[in-house]
């Protein structure tokens, strides 16, 4: 049987071990694809892993390195993801995403009456109650946010 493989990238970012079905949300976090972008973007969804046959998604973005704010957002929706920075076809840097103990300004509170959802100039602030799957608690109203992907602030 023939096997199709995604070509390696010379420079850029590979996001591996993304939770199955989440790759397109990762692209949205990164604002990709965007008009005028000429970089090759490869997306693999529901790929079997070698270790235990589980599934994962993979995203490869040529000529673009991920920034720390994007890493934090990805950690919120896929806490087991790994980020590989590629330079000259080699892994220059590899990191496993980690959730901080507190998330500030990245997620919207689900409570419409929360002070962060009013006209007050205040950033959202959440304590991380659980890492996998992530559960956040609003520091202002106490509401727990479970659907983080739907409440990410762009």
Q: pLDDT tens for residues 23-46?
A: 999 999 999 988 888 889 999 999
Q: Are residues 91 and 22 in the same domain?
A: yes
Alpha carbon separation from 118 to 15, 81, 109, 111 (Å, rounded): 35, 33, 11, 11
Would you state the pLDDT for residue 50?
A: 79
**CB under 8 Å to 39, separation ≥6 — which residues?**
12, 61, 62, 63, 64
Please give the residue range of the domain that contains residue 110.
Answer: 102-151
Residue where a domain terminates, one of 74, 96, 118: 96
The span from the first CA to the last CA of the chain, in angstroms, equals 43
145: domain CATH number is: 2.30.30.20
For 103-131, the pLDDT digits (tens) are: 999 999 999 999 999 988 999 999 999 98
Same-domain pairing of 23 and 84: yes
Task: Assess whether 92 and 106 both reside in one domain.
Answer: no
Question: In terms of domains, do 80 and 133 share one?
Answer: no
Domain membership of residue 5 (yes or no) is no
Q: Tell which residue, 61, 51, 47, 53, has the closest CA to residue 19.
A: 47
Q: What is the CATH number of the domain that holds 87?
A: 3.30.70.140
The two tokens of residue 90 are: 């080699």
**Tokens 């070509």 sit on residue:** 7
DSSP for residue 125: E
Report the 10 Å Cβ neighbour count for 84: 18
Q: What is the pLDDT of residue 4?
A: 65
**Do 43 and 90 belong to one domain?**
yes
Please say which residue of 96, 120, 139 terminates a domain. Answer: 96
Domain presence at residue 2: no
Query: Same structural domain for residues 33 and 92?
Result: yes
Whether residue 30 is found in the same domain as residue 70? yes
Average confidence score pLDDT of the chain: 91
6 has a pLDDT exceeding 90: no
CA 54 to chain centre: 19
Higher pLDDT, 146 or 150: 150
Note whether 77 and 26 are within 8 A (CB). yes
Is there a single domain that holds both residue 23 and residue 87?
A: yes
Do 49 and 70 sit in the same domain of this protein? yes
pLDDT at residue number 3: 66
Q: Is residue 7 part of a domain?
A: no
Phi, psi at residue 127, to the nearest 5°? -90, 140
Q: Residue 129: what pLDDT? A: 94
């Amino acid at each position: 049987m023939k096997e199709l493989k995604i070509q390696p990238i010379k420079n850029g970012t590979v996001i591996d071990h993304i939770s199955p079905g989440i790759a397109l949300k990762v692209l949205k976090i990164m604002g990709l694809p965007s008009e005028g972008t000429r970089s090759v973007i490869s997306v693999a969804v529901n790929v079997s892993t070698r270790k235990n046959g589980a599934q994962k998604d993979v995203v490869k973005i040529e000529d673009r390195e991920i920034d720390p704010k994007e890493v934090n957002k990805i950690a919120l929706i896929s806490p087991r993801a790994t980020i590989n920075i590629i330079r000259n076809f080699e892994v220059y840097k590899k990191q496993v995403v980690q959730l901080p103990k507190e998330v500030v300004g990245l997620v919207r509170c689900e409570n419409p009456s929360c002070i962060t959802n009013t006209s007050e100039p205040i950033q959202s602030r959440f304590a991380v109650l659980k890492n996998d799957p992530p559960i956040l608690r609003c520091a202002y109203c106490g509401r727990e946010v479970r659907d983080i992907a739907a409440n990410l602030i762009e």
